[in-house]
Amino acid sequence: DIVMTQSPDSLAVSLGERATINCKSSQSVLYRSNNKNYLAWYQQKPGQPPKLLIYWASTRESGVPDRFSGSGSGTDFTLTISSLQAEDVAVYYCQQYYSTLPITFGQGTRLEIK
Amino acid sequence: EVQLVESGGGLVQPGGSLRLSCAASGFTFSSDVMNWVRQAPGKGLEWVSGISVSGGSTYYADSVKGRFTISRDSPENTLYLQMNSLRAEDTAVYYCAKGVGGIYYFDLWGRGTLVTVSS
């Protein structure tokens, strides 16, 4: 199994400041034949299902504010919120889809307002 | 409206069975892989099972292999999860999640259905 490890487990950031969440995979999720990283990011607010933010490690889903960005390649990835807004309080998950046996998520990072 | 609506959850005794359904609308159901993802109370996301566009390939987490069966009825735009030999640790909200074509990232999620396994 590809193990996904996020850091930190929780994070408190002031409004308007930058928030950075890291995700590390136990093996590369870069598929060399198409040079794509099979890595997605989700946001989950309390009482709601997850929402797709980023796929292919850095492609923003339609309708997602441009303050959200994804970067990284191979085994190390980052989700950055450039200027934290109150509505960004949530738990964030990374997910690898390089291997379907099984598909795996990170443990989640809880983002709060400082 | 593009949506997924799960049903079939409830309270079941250990060793019992449940069948979850996920009704899809607003998109071409037969064009995308489909999945079940669960979330135990206060815990993170756990992928449970996935099924290919044709339904010919199915995938399971080790924790449910041999007990759960995923299937899809494309004419009816419905995804199913048959859950047998349920255990307390299967207690969770079960989400239906849509992939993108044959790719297993999930761009549409249902609101979930709660399964509680308890005596």
A65-to-A8, A62, A103, B88 alpha-carbon distances in Å: 23, 9, 26, 39
- Count of CB atoms within 10 A of residue B89's CB? 10
Q: What is the mean pLDDT of residues B34-52?
A: 97
User: Is B110 in Cβ contact with A105 (below 8 Å)?
Assistant: no
pLDDT for position A39:
98
Looking only at the bridges linking them, the beta strands covering B113-117 and B68-73 are unpaired
- Set of chain B residues whose Cβ sits within 8 Å of the Cβ of A104: 47
**A94 → chain B, closest CA residue:** B45
Indicate if the pLDDT at residue A101 is higher than 90.
no
pLDDT for position A100:
82
- A76, A86 Cβ separation under 8 angstroms: no
Over the stretch B49-84, which tens digit does the pLDDT of each residue have? 999 999 999 999 999 999 999 999 999 999 999 999
- Set of chain B residues whose Cβ sits within 8 Å of the Cβ of A62: none
Q: What angle do CA B49, B24, A58 make, to 5 degrees?
A: 65
User: Is A103 in Cβ contact with B35 (below 8 Å)?
Assistant: yes
Chain A contact present for B40, CB below 8 A: no
CA distance B49 to chain A (A): 8
For residue A97, give the nearest of B62, B95, B104 by CB distance: B104
- Set of chain A residues whose Cβ sits within 8 Å of the Cβ of B50: 100, 103
Burial annotation A55-73 (CB, 10 A radius, 16+ → b, else e): bebbebbeebeeebbbebe
For chain B, give the percent of residues with pLDDT over 90: 98
Chain A contact present for B27, CB below 8 A: no
Characterise B67 by phi-psi region: left (phi > 0), alpha (psi -120 to 50), beta (else): alpha
CA distance B12 to chain A (A): 23
User: Is A52 in Cβ contact with B106 (below 8 Å)?
Assistant: yes
For residue A55, give the nearest of B47, B105, B112 by CB distance: B105
The structure tokens listed for B58 are 């199915």
pLDDT for position B47:
97
A76 CB-side CA count, 13 A: 1
